[in-house]
Structure 1
């Protein structure tokens, strides 16, 4: 069963015509492009856009500077670590040399003791 539709074809055409006429009236009622209010609103929007671009550029610059700072800190950390490793390696070499000298001194003392014992 179909429902009863009280709108006839002429009613629908009339409503569509009135809607088009209302849209056209709204379009005609707009202020012209050279109206001071429109010009001021456009200038305000342009100013807001420029300020937004400046803020975006400032944030980008801050991000770049922070990234450069992090890179410099990482490089300094790597250099400090390399210097620490070099110092540790030099210390290890010095300890090995001192141990060799101590061993040589002990060996020489044993040799001298053997010689002294043999001469008696």
Structure 2
């Protein structure tokens, strides 16, 4: 019974929720919670900015790689076209020589 009475007395002596000290402690906890939330929001914002920056950088690198690859492909195609044109020109020259030999043979007869 005595222990129960001591417990009740202790509960009665505890500060009430409307006590100025309790109000100040509650306000301090709320301020700490707000500051913590602001820091978390700032970290999230920075993380999103970094992700956006990385995505933009990756896109630029991919575009540059595509452009370089495409430029190489265009150069290869131009080289192949020039090679084909030389082959056609060589064949035309060989045909011209052959025709000249044929014409010379005909002229001798």
Common fold: TM-score over 0.5: yes
Moved over 4 A (4+): none
| Alpha-carbon distance between aligned partners in 1 of 2:7 and 2:43, rounded to the nearest angstrom | 44
Match of 2:47 in 1: 63
Provide the residue aligned with 2:19 in structure 1: 35
Structure 1 residues 84-93 or 94-103, which shifts more? Answer: 84-93
Q: Give the total of aligned pairs.
A: 104
RMSD of aligned Cα (Å): 1.6
Q: Which runs of 5+ in 1 are unaligned?
A: 1-16
Normalising to structure 2: TM-score of the pair? 0.82
Q: Indicate which of 70, 76, 87 corresponds to 2:60.
A: 76
TM-score normalised to structure 1 length: 0.76
Gaps of 5+ in 2: 105-109
What displacement does 1:22 show?
3.0
